[in-house]
Protein backbone atom coordinates (compact mmCIF):
# COMPACT_ATOMS: atom_id res chain seq x y z
CA UNK A 1 0.00 0.00 0.00
CA UNK A 2 1.09 3.55 -0.74
CA UNK A 3 0.55 6.77 1.23
CA UNK A 4 0.90 10.50 0.63
CA UNK A 5 1.52 12.66 3.70
CA UNK A 6 0.89 16.40 3.49
CA UNK A 7 3.49 18.31 5.52
CA UNK A 8 3.64 21.59 3.63
CA UNK A 9 2.50 23.95 6.41
CA UNK A 10 4.79 26.30 8.31
CA UNK A 11 3.57 25.16 11.74
CA UNK A 12 2.91 28.74 12.83
CA UNK A 13 0.62 27.72 15.71
CA UNK A 14 3.43 25.64 17.21
CA UNK A 15 6.03 28.41 17.23
CA UNK A 16 8.59 28.95 18.66
CA UNK A 17 9.28 25.18 18.42
CA UNK A 18 8.92 25.45 14.64
CA UNK A 19 10.79 28.72 14.22
CA UNK A 20 14.01 26.90 13.31
CA UNK A 21 12.87 23.28 12.83
CA UNK A 22 10.28 22.01 10.31
CA UNK A 23 7.16 20.84 12.12
CA UNK A 24 7.34 17.20 10.87
CA UNK A 25 10.71 16.71 12.55
CA UNK A 26 10.04 18.58 15.79
CA UNK A 27 10.92 16.11 18.51
CA UNK A 28 7.99 14.39 20.22
CA UNK A 29 9.08 12.30 23.25
CA UNK A 30 12.06 10.49 21.68
CA UNK A 31 11.72 10.83 17.89
CA UNK A 32 10.58 13.22 15.16
CA UNK A 33 6.84 13.88 15.26
CA UNK A 34 6.32 12.43 11.77
CA UNK A 35 8.04 9.17 12.78
CA UNK A 36 4.96 8.20 14.79
CA UNK A 37 2.88 8.42 11.62
CA UNK A 38 5.41 6.52 9.53
CA UNK A 39 5.57 3.71 12.11
CA UNK A 40 1.76 3.57 12.27
CA UNK A 41 1.57 3.31 8.48
CA UNK A 42 4.19 0.56 8.42
CA UNK A 43 2.16 -1.49 10.92
CA UNK A 44 -0.71 -1.41 8.40
CA UNK A 45 1.35 -2.61 5.46
CA UNK A 46 2.34 0.72 3.92
CA UNK A 47 5.80 0.44 2.36
CA UNK A 48 5.86 3.40 -0.04
CA UNK A 49 5.40 6.93 1.34
CA UNK A 50 5.45 10.22 -0.54
CA UNK A 51 5.98 13.35 1.56
CA UNK A 52 4.46 16.47 0.06
CA UNK A 53 6.60 19.26 1.54
CA UNK A 54 6.78 23.01 1.42
CA UNK A 55 8.34 25.00 4.25
CA UNK A 56 11.91 23.92 5.13
CA UNK A 57 11.64 20.79 2.97
CA UNK A 58 15.40 20.18 3.03
CA UNK A 59 15.28 20.00 6.81
CA UNK A 60 12.65 17.25 6.67
CA UNK A 61 14.62 15.28 4.08
CA UNK A 62 17.90 15.57 5.99
CA UNK A 63 16.36 14.07 9.14
CA UNK A 64 14.25 11.29 7.56
CA UNK A 65 16.51 10.27 4.68
CA UNK A 66 15.11 7.59 2.36
CA UNK A 67 13.03 5.87 5.05
CA UNK A 68 15.11 2.70 5.10
CA UNK A 69 15.63 2.88 8.88
CA UNK A 70 11.86 2.65 9.27
CA UNK A 71 11.48 -0.13 6.70
CA UNK A 72 9.75 2.02 4.09
CA UNK A 73 10.53 3.74 0.81
CA UNK A 74 10.34 7.50 1.34
CA UNK A 75 10.15 10.02 -1.50
CA UNK A 76 9.58 13.77 -1.53
CA UNK A 77 7.75 16.29 -3.68
CA UNK A 78 8.03 20.02 -3.01
CA UNK A 79 5.35 22.65 -3.56
CA UNK A 80 6.77 25.69 -5.38
CA UNK A 81 4.05 27.66 -3.58
CA UNK A 82 1.12 26.70 -1.33
CA UNK A 83 -1.31 24.64 -3.42
CA UNK A 84 -3.90 23.55 -0.87
CA UNK A 85 -4.58 19.97 0.13
CA UNK A 86 -5.83 18.81 -3.28
CA UNK A 87 -3.27 20.88 -5.16
CA UNK A 88 -0.43 19.29 -3.19
CA UNK A 89 -1.88 15.85 -3.93
CA UNK A 90 -2.12 16.69 -7.64
CA UNK A 91 1.58 17.57 -7.61
CA UNK A 92 2.34 14.00 -6.53
CA UNK A 93 0.08 12.44 -9.19
CA UNK A 94 2.89 11.01 -11.38
CA UNK A 95 4.07 8.89 -8.43
CA UNK A 96 0.66 7.56 -7.33
CA UNK A 97 -0.79 4.06 -7.57
CA UNK A 98 -4.42 3.38 -8.49
CA UNK A 99 -5.30 3.29 -4.78
CA UNK A 100 -3.46 5.07 -1.97
CA UNK A 101 -3.80 6.71 1.43
CA UNK A 102 -3.71 10.47 1.93
CA UNK A 103 -2.87 11.79 5.38
CA UNK A 104 -2.54 15.04 7.26
CA UNK A 105 0.97 15.02 8.73
CA UNK A 106 -0.06 16.91 11.91
CA UNK A 107 -1.99 13.97 13.35
CA UNK A 108 -1.13 11.50 16.13
CA UNK A 109 -3.44 8.51 15.92
CA UNK A 110 -3.76 4.72 16.00
CA UNK A 111 -6.85 4.39 13.78
CA UNK A 112 -7.19 0.92 12.23
CA UNK A 113 -6.18 1.70 8.65
CA UNK A 114 -6.43 -1.97 7.68
CA UNK A 115 -10.13 -1.97 8.58
CA UNK A 116 -10.64 1.36 6.79
CA UNK A 117 -9.09 -0.03 3.59
CA UNK A 118 -11.21 -3.18 3.86
CA UNK A 119 -14.39 -1.10 4.15
CA UNK A 120 -13.31 1.01 1.18
CA UNK A 121 -12.94 -2.11 -0.94
CA UNK A 122 -16.23 -3.64 0.28
CA UNK A 123 -18.29 -0.54 -0.56
CA UNK A 124 -16.60 0.16 -3.88
CA UNK A 125 -15.93 3.70 -2.69
CA UNK A 126 -13.95 6.30 -4.58
CA UNK A 127 -12.93 7.96 -1.30
CA UNK A 128 -13.29 6.83 2.33
CA UNK A 129 -12.74 9.36 5.11
CA UNK A 130 -11.66 8.26 8.60
CA UNK A 131 -13.95 9.98 11.12
CA UNK A 132 -13.68 10.44 14.88
CA UNK A 133 -16.26 11.69 17.41
CA UNK A 134 -15.85 14.96 19.31
CA UNK A 135 -17.32 16.03 22.63
CA UNK A 136 -18.47 19.45 21.38
CA UNK A 137 -19.85 19.17 17.83
CA UNK A 138 -20.71 22.88 17.70
CA UNK A 139 -16.99 23.75 17.45
CA UNK A 140 -16.26 21.72 14.31
CA UNK A 141 -17.20 21.00 10.74
CA UNK A 142 -19.15 17.73 10.93
CA UNK A 143 -19.69 14.81 8.57
CA UNK A 144 -23.21 13.33 8.38
CA UNK A 145 -23.49 9.71 7.20
CA UNK A 146 -26.32 7.59 5.88
CA UNK A 147 -26.99 4.12 7.29
CA UNK A 148 -24.85 2.52 4.57
CA UNK A 149 -21.88 4.66 5.55
CA UNK A 150 -22.01 6.99 2.58
CA UNK A 151 -21.57 10.71 3.22
CA UNK A 152 -24.86 12.62 3.12
CA UNK A 153 -23.69 16.09 4.08
CA UNK A 154 -21.03 18.35 5.59
CA UNK A 155 -22.20 20.76 8.27
CA UNK A 156 -20.02 23.62 9.51
CA UNK A 157 -20.25 24.33 13.27
CA UNK A 158 -23.96 23.66 13.80
CA UNK A 159 -26.03 25.18 16.58
CA UNK A 160 -26.71 22.90 19.54
CA UNK A 161 -30.33 22.34 18.50
CA UNK A 162 -29.50 21.15 14.96
CA UNK A 163 -26.74 18.58 15.55
CA UNK A 164 -27.07 15.43 13.41
CA UNK A 165 -23.56 14.07 13.91
CA UNK A 166 -20.59 14.28 16.25
CA UNK A 167 -18.11 13.00 13.64
CA UNK A 168 -15.25 15.05 12.20
CA UNK A 169 -12.65 14.20 9.59
CA UNK A 170 -9.52 12.61 11.06
CA UNK A 171 -7.33 13.58 8.11
CA UNK A 172 -6.83 9.99 6.91
CA UNK A 173 -8.33 9.06 3.54
CA UNK A 174 -8.35 6.01 1.27
CA UNK A 175 -8.56 7.28 -2.30
CA UNK A 176 -8.86 6.01 -5.84
CA UNK A 177 -6.49 7.77 -8.22
CA UNK A 178 -9.37 8.71 -10.53
CA UNK A 179 -10.53 11.47 -8.16
CA UNK A 180 -7.54 13.53 -9.24
CA UNK A 181 -9.44 14.14 -12.47
CA UNK A 182 -11.53 16.56 -10.38
CA UNK A 183 -8.49 18.65 -9.46
CA UNK A 184 -7.17 21.30 -11.83
CA UNK A 185 -3.35 21.30 -12.05
CA UNK A 186 -1.10 24.09 -10.79
CA UNK A 187 -3.66 25.90 -8.69
CA UNK A 188 -4.63 26.09 -5.04
CA UNK A 189 -7.41 23.56 -4.43
CA UNK A 190 -8.88 22.36 -1.13
CA UNK A 191 -9.85 18.70 -1.15
CA UNK A 192 -12.19 19.30 1.79
CA UNK A 193 -14.08 22.26 0.35
CA UNK A 194 -13.87 21.66 -3.40
CA UNK A 195 -13.54 17.91 -4.01
CA UNK A 196 -15.54 16.13 -1.30
CA UNK A 197 -18.79 18.00 -2.11
CA UNK A 198 -18.51 16.78 -5.71
CA UNK A 199 -18.33 13.17 -4.50
CA UNK A 200 -21.47 13.19 -2.34
CA UNK A 201 -23.78 10.51 -3.81
CA UNK A 202 -20.88 9.48 -6.04
CA UNK A 203 -18.65 7.18 -4.02
CA UNK A 204 -17.81 9.17 -0.86
CA UNK A 205 -17.95 7.12 2.36
CA UNK A 206 -17.07 7.59 6.01
CA UNK A 207 -15.24 5.22 8.35
CA UNK A 208 -16.19 6.08 11.97
CA UNK A 209 -13.57 5.11 14.55
CA UNK A 210 -13.29 5.34 18.33
CA UNK A 211 -9.48 5.18 18.17
CA UNK A 212 -7.14 7.76 19.62
CA UNK A 213 -6.75 10.92 17.51
CA UNK A 214 -5.09 14.27 18.16
CA UNK A 215 -4.08 17.16 15.92
CA UNK A 216 -0.65 18.24 17.22
CA UNK A 217 -1.09 21.85 16.13
CA UNK A 218 -0.47 23.94 19.24
CA UNK A 219 1.85 23.83 22.27
CA UNK A 220 -1.02 22.63 24.46
CA UNK A 221 -1.73 19.75 22.09
CA UNK A 222 1.98 18.99 21.77
CA UNK A 223 2.10 18.55 25.54
CA UNK A 224 -1.12 16.51 25.52
CA UNK A 225 0.28 14.24 22.80
CA UNK A 226 3.49 13.79 24.80
CA UNK A 227 1.56 12.83 27.92
CA UNK A 228 -0.75 10.47 26.02
CA UNK A 229 2.24 8.71 24.46
CA UNK A 230 4.07 8.13 27.74
CA UNK A 231 0.84 7.15 29.52
CA UNK A 232 0.06 4.61 26.79
CA UNK A 233 -3.22 6.22 25.74
CA UNK A 234 -2.15 5.91 22.10
CA UNK A 235 -0.52 2.79 20.66
CA UNK A 236 3.12 3.64 19.78
CA UNK A 237 6.56 2.03 19.95
CA UNK A 238 7.36 4.14 23.01
CA UNK A 239 5.04 1.95 25.10
CA UNK A 240 7.43 -1.02 24.89
CA UNK A 241 10.39 1.16 25.83
CA UNK A 242 8.67 2.39 29.00
CA UNK A 243 8.03 -1.14 30.25
CA UNK A 244 5.83 -2.17 33.13
CA UNK A 245 7.03 0.64 35.40
CA UNK A 246 6.26 3.36 32.81
CA UNK A 247 9.78 4.72 33.14
CA UNK A 248 12.60 4.93 30.58
CA UNK A 249 15.94 6.08 32.00
CA UNK A 250 18.90 5.73 29.65
CA UNK A 251 21.87 3.97 31.22
CA UNK A 252 23.97 6.99 30.28
CA UNK A 253 21.92 9.29 32.54
CA UNK A 254 22.94 10.30 36.05
CA UNK A 255 19.95 10.58 38.36
CA UNK A 256 20.61 11.59 41.95
CA UNK A 257 17.19 13.15 42.53
CA UNK A 258 13.73 11.63 42.34
CA UNK A 259 11.96 10.58 39.12
CA UNK A 260 8.22 9.83 39.16
CA UNK A 261 6.74 7.82 36.26
CA UNK A 262 5.65 8.10 33.59
CA UNK A 263 8.82 9.79 32.41
CA UNK A 264 11.54 9.53 29.76
CA UNK A 265 15.13 10.43 30.70
CA UNK A 266 17.65 10.30 27.85
CA UNK A 267 21.40 9.78 27.55
CA UNK A 268 23.63 12.35 29.23
CA UNK A 269 20.87 13.78 31.45
CA UNK A 270 21.97 14.86 34.93
CA UNK A 271 19.41 15.22 37.71
CA UNK A 272 20.99 16.68 40.82
CA UNK A 273 20.29 15.57 44.38
CA UNK A 274 17.08 17.02 45.73
CA UNK A 275 15.61 17.59 42.26
CA UNK A 276 12.17 16.20 41.40
CA UNK A 277 11.35 15.06 37.85
CA UNK A 278 7.88 13.84 36.84
CA UNK A 279 5.35 12.65 36.66
CA UNK A 280 4.73 13.31 32.95
CA UNK A 281 8.18 14.59 32.07
CA UNK A 282 10.52 14.14 29.11
CA UNK A 283 14.18 15.19 29.38
CA UNK A 284 16.10 14.95 26.09
CA UNK A 285 19.82 14.24 25.75
CA UNK A 286 22.28 16.19 27.94
CA UNK A 287 19.65 18.11 29.91
CA UNK A 288 20.85 19.21 33.34
CA UNK A 289 18.43 19.72 36.25
CA UNK A 290 19.87 21.59 39.23
CA UNK A 291 19.53 20.78 42.91
CA UNK A 292 16.06 21.31 44.34
CA UNK A 293 14.47 21.99 40.94
CA UNK A 294 11.08 20.55 39.93
CA UNK A 295 10.22 19.46 36.37
CA UNK A 296 6.65 18.19 36.10
CA UNK A 297 4.24 17.87 33.17
CA UNK A 298 6.97 19.32 30.99
CA UNK A 299 9.23 18.68 28.01
CA UNK A 300 12.84 19.84 28.07
CA UNK A 301 14.78 19.40 24.83
CA UNK A 302 18.42 18.62 24.17
CA UNK A 303 21.19 20.35 26.08
CA UNK A 304 19.04 22.68 28.18
CA UNK A 305 20.34 23.65 31.61
CA UNK A 306 17.90 24.15 34.52
CA UNK A 307 19.27 26.02 37.52
CA UNK A 308 18.89 25.25 41.21
CA UNK A 309 15.44 25.66 42.73
CA UNK A 310 13.66 26.22 39.42
CA UNK A 311 10.02 25.22 38.98
CA UNK A 312 8.92 23.93 35.56
CA UNK A 313 5.31 22.82 35.16
CA UNK A 314 3.08 22.53 32.08
CA UNK A 315 5.73 23.99 29.80
CA UNK A 316 8.05 23.25 26.87
CA UNK A 317 11.69 24.26 26.69
CA UNK A 318 13.55 24.06 23.38
CA UNK A 319 17.11 22.83 22.98
CA UNK A 320 20.14 24.66 24.31
CA UNK A 321 18.26 26.91 26.74
CA UNK A 322 19.66 28.15 30.03
CA UNK A 323 17.35 28.86 32.96
CA UNK A 324 18.73 30.70 35.98
CA UNK A 325 18.22 29.69 39.60
CA UNK A 326 14.81 30.13 41.16
CA UNK A 327 12.99 30.82 37.89
CA UNK A 328 9.43 29.55 37.44
CA UNK A 329 8.14 28.52 34.00
CA UNK A 330 4.52 27.35 34.10
CA UNK A 331 1.06 27.73 32.56
CA UNK A 332 1.75 26.56 29.01
CA UNK A 333 4.82 28.75 28.45
CA UNK A 334 7.19 27.79 25.61
CA UNK A 335 10.86 28.69 25.19
CA UNK A 336 12.44 28.43 21.75
CA UNK A 337 15.91 27.04 21.11
CA UNK A 338 18.81 28.84 22.76
CA UNK A 339 16.76 31.11 25.05
CA UNK A 340 18.64 32.35 28.11
CA UNK A 341 16.55 33.29 31.15
CA UNK A 342 18.23 34.81 34.17
CA UNK A 343 17.52 34.00 37.80
CA UNK A 344 14.19 34.55 39.57
CA UNK A 345 12.00 35.19 36.53
CA UNK A 346 8.36 34.10 36.28
CA UNK A 347 7.20 33.05 32.81
CA UNK A 348 3.63 31.80 32.56
CA UNK A 349 0.18 32.29 30.96
CA UNK A 350 1.17 30.74 27.64
CA UNK A 351 4.09 33.13 27.05
CA UNK A 352 6.22 32.26 24.03
CA UNK A 353 9.88 33.29 24.07
CA UNK A 354 11.43 33.04 20.61
CA UNK A 355 14.84 31.51 19.81
CA UNK A 356 17.93 33.33 20.97
CA UNK A 357 16.18 35.79 23.31
CA UNK A 358 18.07 36.66 26.50
CA UNK A 359 16.30 37.84 29.66
CA UNK A 360 18.30 39.19 32.61
CA UNK A 361 17.62 38.34 36.26
CA UNK A 362 14.10 39.31 37.43
CA UNK A 363 13.16 40.68 33.99
CA UNK A 364 9.64 39.18 34.00
CA UNK A 365 7.41 38.61 37.00
CA UNK A 366 3.83 37.94 35.96
Catalytic residues: 157
What is the C-alpha to C-alpha distance for residues 323 and 340, in angstroms, rounded to an integer? Answer: 6
Contacts of 177 (CB under 8 A, 6+ apart): 93, 96, 97, 98, 99, 100
Per DSSP, the residues of 272-307 read: -TT-EE-SSEEE-TT-EE-TT-EEEEEEE-TT-EE-
3-state secondary structure (DSSP) of residue 30: coil
The sign one gets for the Cα dihedral 13, 74, 113, 147 is positive
Rounded Cα distance between 106 and 92, Å, is 19
Question: Which of 173, 4, 122, 142 is CA-nearest to residue 73?
Answer: 4
DSSP secondary structure string, 155-219?
A: EES--GGG----EEEEEEEEEEGGGGGGS-TTS---IIIIIHHHHTTTTEEEEE--S-EEE--SH
Q: How far apart are CA 343 and CA 300, in angstroms?
A: 18
* Angle of CA points 116, 119, 121, to nearest 5°: 110
The residues near 271 (Cβ < 8 Å, ≥ 6 apart) are 253, 254, 255, 256, 257, 259, 265, 277, 283, 289
Sequence-distant (6+) residues with CB within 8 A of 193 are none
Torsion of CA 237, 240, 246, 249, to 10 degrees: -90
Nearest to residue 132, comparing CAs of 102, 108, 99? 108
Amino acid sequence: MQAVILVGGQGTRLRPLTSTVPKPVVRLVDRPLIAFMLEWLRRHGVEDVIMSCGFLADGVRSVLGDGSQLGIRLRFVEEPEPLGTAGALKLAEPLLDERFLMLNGDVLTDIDLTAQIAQHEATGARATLALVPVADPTAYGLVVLREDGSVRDFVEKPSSDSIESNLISAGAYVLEREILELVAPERNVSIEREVWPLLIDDGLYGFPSESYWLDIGTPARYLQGTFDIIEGNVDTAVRERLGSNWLAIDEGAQVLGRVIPPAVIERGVRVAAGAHVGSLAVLAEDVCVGAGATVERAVVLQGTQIGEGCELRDCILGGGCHVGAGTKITGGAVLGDGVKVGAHNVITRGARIFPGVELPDRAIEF
